[in-house]
Amino acid sequence: RVSGLYESEPLGVAEPQPPYLNAVAEIVTDLPLDELLTRLEAIERQLGRTQKGGWQPRTIDLDILWAEGERMQTERLTVPHPRLWERAFVLLPLAELTEALDGIPVAERAGQVAKWQTVRRVSSAWFFGTSPSPR
């Protein structure tokens, strides 16, 4: 399943940048998380991403936010994502796909952080013309 599409103002940037587009996808995989990350990075490169890290404009940024029953912290990857609960541009689309993670209500937390971040929903049918099923 895939969330609607959201537009957000860049956070923590020194120079003006265009707005970012954000969405969350729920996937099912048997891949270990480190292998999934390797494949996501390959997709980023195929789509034209040339740099990693920093607060620079990027063609695409694919992150692993959370994995059911998984906890991981390495140099390359931390799951759950360390800033998951701080970002309205992640939480608002995530709230379309799940009510709670680890017992934490996603929509409630999204409402709290959205007060100080500019995020707006721009489309519900952007990914192959579908939108998430209502909860």
Tell me which residues are annotated as active site. 49, 58, 61, 63
The span from the CA of 37 to the CA of 20, in Å, is 21
| Helix, strand, coil abundance in the chain, percent, nearest 5 | 30, 20, 55
Backbone angles phi, psi at 38, to 5 degrees: -60, -40
- Residue in 125, 64, 134 with CA at minimum distance from that of residue 99: 134
